[in-house]
Amino acid sequence: MGECIFCRIVSGEIPAKKIYEDDLVLAFHDINPVAPVHFLVIPKAHVASMAELNAEHEAVMGRVMTVAARLAREQGATDGFRTIINTGRVGRQEVYHLHVHVIGGPDVLPAMLKR
């Protein structure tokens, strides 16, 4: 966990453009945004991926989702947005600390996946 990049952002060891933080979650702008609005919401406590979730995470994941919705609005995504959680090899997860992407902006996003 010592080398987990998002844990290091939580601890302040690595800088990030933080948007919001409370006892359970942290939100910060993605370093490589794919749309005008692109931020990440993470549980502060390390969870490697969505595949590791269990009943003990219900409170923190509830907080992650409600914070994501409020911040999407506050960041200007008032006409919709997309949330993405990439999980594991098949989901092409790159950072193994669970994070919800919130992606939006003025324009309609491309189709979710190509058939």
Burial class (CB in 10 A: 0-12, 13-18, 19+), 5: middle
Q: Does 95 bind ligand 5GP (CB under 6 A)?
A: yes
Q: Which stretch binds ligand 5GP (CB under 6 A): 24-32, 62-70, 72-80, 102-110?
A: 24-32
| Interface residue with Zn ion, options 4, 45, 61, 95 (CB under 5 A) | 4
Tally of residues, the chain: 115
The answer to whether the beta carbons of residues 30 and 22 sit under 8 Å apart is no
Q: Let me know if 97 is a catalytic residue.
A: no
Report, in Å, the least distance between residue 6 CB and ligand 5GP.
8
Residues touching ligand 5GP, count (CB under 6 A) = 12
Q: Which residue has the tokens 């219900």?
A: 58
